[in-house]
Amino acid sequence: MRCRYCRRPIGALRCLVDREFCSSDHKKRFRSSSARALRDAGELLPDYEDYLAVLEQPERKHAKAGGRLGLAAASIVGLSLGLGLWFLPSAPVPIPAAELRYSLGSNPVSRYLQSMLRETPKINLKQDFRIGLGEWLGAPSATDILPGSLRTDHLRIWKPTLKLSDYQMDFQASIEKRAMGWAFRAGDLNNYYGTKLSVSKEGERAEIERFVVVAGQQMDRVRLPIPLSIRPETLYRVRVRVKGDQFSTSVDGQVIDTWRDRRLNKGGVGFFAEKGEQASVRWVSLSEPDGFFSRLLALGFIIHPLYGAPGFVGANVP
C-alpha cells in the first residue's frame, strides 16, 4: 500500500492504524490540499474553512514562540549592558572637546528623570591652608602652618566634614619624619579611623598602618607592607574612598589597601602625627563618590553624546 500524499510505501505497523497515509502529518496535508482544490473550484462548504484554520494553528504557535524567544534574548542583552556600565570605572574617557556635546539639558527624558530623583547637595570641598586653620578642630600649634602647607603634629579635624558619611578624600603630602597620618569618619578627637603611611629609617621599606579609636581607646592596629617605594621629602597624592563599611587607599593611582569596619558610620577627615613623626600636607579635597545614575548619565546610557554636532563649542571634560 502507498501513501496517498507522498506515494511512498506505508510501513507494516502504520497499516494497522491507517492504510491510506504513512503519517498523521501527510494525512492533514492531503486534506488541506484537497480542500484548497475544492475551494478554488467553488465546491467547498463554508464550514470547512474553520477546519483549515485548526490545521494551521501549530504554525502560528511556533511563530509566537519565536517572538517570545526574541524578547527574552533582548532582555538578557539589556541586563548585561546595564551591569557592564555599572562595573565600568567612573573616570571620564578623554575625548577631544570640540567633538562632544551632551543633550542632557534639552532631552525631555533626562529632565523627567532628574525631576523624579531627590535633590541632594553635592560634596565639593577643598582646603589649601592659605586662610589658616579656623575651620579645623584641635589645639593650635606654632608649627601647624607653613607657607602653602599644613605640618602635622597632633590630630586636627576639618569642621565642615564632621557630619558626612560617604566621600572621597584626596590630598597631596610628603613625609618629613618617618610617617604621615590621616583620619576619616572622625566624629570628634576621640572617635575616628586612623591610617599612617610610614617608611623605615633607611627608606627601603614602606608600610601602611590602620587602627580604630573609640572613646579615646585605640584598638585593632594592623601593619602591612605595601608594593610601593615611598621616599621622604617627596610629594605623593593619596586617595581614600569611604563608602558604607568599605574603605580603600591608593597612592599615585595605585591601590595599596582595602578593608572593612562597621563601628563608625559618620564623621569627617583630618591629619595627625604620632611621636617622632611629621608630614607636610599641601592641600586636601573632599568629593562625593559617583552613584548609579551618575555613572549611567556619564557613560551615555540614557543620554547619548552627540559627536561632531554643528555649531557646537566644546568645553574640556574635567
d(CA 205, CA 228): 9
209 confidence band (pLDDT: 50, 70, 90): very high
β partners of residue 306: 101
Residue type, 249: T
pLDDT value at residue 250: 95
Q: With 70 as the cut, is the pLDDT of residue 73 above it?
A: yes
CB < 8 Å & 24+ apart, contacts of 313-316: 313/98, 314/96, 314/97, 314/98, 314/99, 314/100, 314/101, 315/97, 316/97
Residue type, 22: C
Residue pLDDT, tens place only, 137-189: 886 665 566 667 888 888 999 999 999 999 999 999 999 999 999 999 999 99
Q: With 80 as the cut, is the pLDDT of residue 105 above it?
A: no
Give the least confident one: 4-13, 21-30, 86-95, 160-169.
Answer: 86-95
Residue pLDDT, tens place only, 114-133: 565 554 557 789 988 887 77
Of 7 and 219, the one with more pLDDT:
219
Of 84 and 245, the one with more pLDDT:
245
Q: With 50 as the cut, is the pLDDT of residue 94 above it?
A: no
196 CB-side CA count, 13 A: 24
pLDDT value at residue 1: 76
91 confidence band (pLDDT: 50, 70, 90): very low
pLDDT value at residue 160: 93
β partners of residue 186: 268
pLDDT value at residue 146: 67
Question: Please, what are the domains in the chain?
Answer: 12-78 (no CATH), 88-118+294-307 (no CATH), 124-287 (2.60.120.560)
β partners of residue 51: none
